[in-house]
Structure 1
Amino acid sequence: MAVWTVYLSLGLLVALNASVETRPAENKECGACREGWSAFECRCFKFFNIPQTWSRAEKFCLYYKGNLASVHSHDEYMFIQRMIRQTTHATPFTWIGGHDAPEEGHWLWSDGKKMNYQIWSPGNPSNYLGKEHCLEINYDNGNWNDDNCSVQKPFVCVY
């Protein structure tokens, strides 16, 4: 009986803690984002206005237990662009997690998720001079472009 009481007490404690935790308004099943991060559909995003190469930006995101952002819908892309504009009052070219480094023309997300949404600028990806393998946003009319991964740009992480 004492063991059953302990399990019941622990269950009640867990339930109380879960109900007190702050959760994003979009979905009651999501956990809260860390301070300074913004929630969209159970994922947490942050814009870093610290120009880095694509690979250094990805390493930076990994430090935060995330990746460069993958984008899966137009609404999610608009959310990311608004987040950048709120920080910079502009739309700088910005790294996200797309790349085709392993195989030219086969675009992947660094977090391993399927690339099921794309909004490339006309004529892109172009792989200009055979050196463009990383995805930047806010290019022509806010669309996507492939660029040289060694160019330093601000970036967006997600976890």
Structure 2
Amino acid sequence: MKTVLVFITLMVAVQSTKLVPKTMADVKDQCSLNFTFGNDIYMFHKCPLDYYAAVEICKCEKVKSNLLSIHSHEFHEKVIEKLKHSNITSYEVWIGATKGRFSFTYYWTDGSQMDFQYWARGAPSHSWYSPACVVMETKEPGYWHDVDCNIRRPFVCKTEQQKSHSR
């Protein structure tokens, strides 16, 4: 019986190491899918990470890269459409909205104005004394929910293209 338990434990450990990327290169190779809108590049990461790790992965992508911020209903619908066609199996993805402890105010991690919100009924629901991070449903209509930042979800990074200056 003890041998069987050891074998099962080893199998679970081996399988779990295959599912979680170990390095930045592994994250890019195994987990990402790129798409573009206008001048910006978006990278959908299928491998789930907690919110804080997702923020760091996005910042490592490029100099001007952050978790996705959404500023219009039209853009929100385009993102949902892209996610729908990417064969995503997760129900939610991290986006770049969060709030700190002792606050009711949500903000975008890229520093842009939070001029569009698409909360589900009853959301946001986290109390003022606990931090919360925002996930977006991947199926229409794509409502937002505030959740514990330590849960693991796929995520979307946005990289702004450098504008070329012609003379």
1:148 counterpart residue number: 148
Contact 1:48 1:155 in 2 (8 A): yes
- Contact 2:134 2:145 (8 Å CA) reproduced: yes
Aligned residue identity for 1:144: W
> 1:65-115 deviations in whole A, cap 9, x for unaligned?
211000011111111112211112556211000001155211110100000
Q: Does 1:50 find its partner at 2:63?
A: no
Kindly tell me: are residues 151 and 129 of structure 1, through their superposed partners in 2, closer, same or farther at Cα, counting changes over 3 Å? farther
- Name the aligned partner's letter for residue 144 of structure 2: W
**Coordinate RMSD, CA, aligned:** 2.4
Q: Secondary structure at the match of 2:146?
A: strand
Q: Which has the larger radius of gyration?
A: 1
1:108 corresponds to: 107
Q: CA shift at 1:37, angstroms?
A: 2.7
Unaligned runs of 5+ in 1: 1-35
Matches within 5 A, 1:1-159: 37-65=34-62, 66-90=65-89, 92-101=91-100, 103-127=102-126, 131=130, 133-138=132-137, 141-159=141-159
The count of aligned residue pairs is 125
Q: 1:152 and 1:130, CA in 2 relative to 1: closer, same or farther beyond 3 A?
A: farther
SS at match of 2:97: strand
TM-score w.r.t. structure 2 length? Answer: 0.67
Gaps of 5+ in 2: 1-32, 160-167
Give the percent of matched residue pairs that are identical in Structure 1 and Structure 2: 27
Q: Residue in 2 aligned with 1:17?
A: none
Structure 1 residues 79 and 103, CA, compared in 2 at 3 Å: closer, same or farther? farther
Alpha carbons of 1:55 and 1:89: their partners in 2 closer, same or farther (altered >3 Å)? closer
Normalised by the size of structure 1, how large is the TM-score? 0.70
Richer in strand (by share): 2
What amino acid does structure 1 have at the position aligned with 2:43?
K
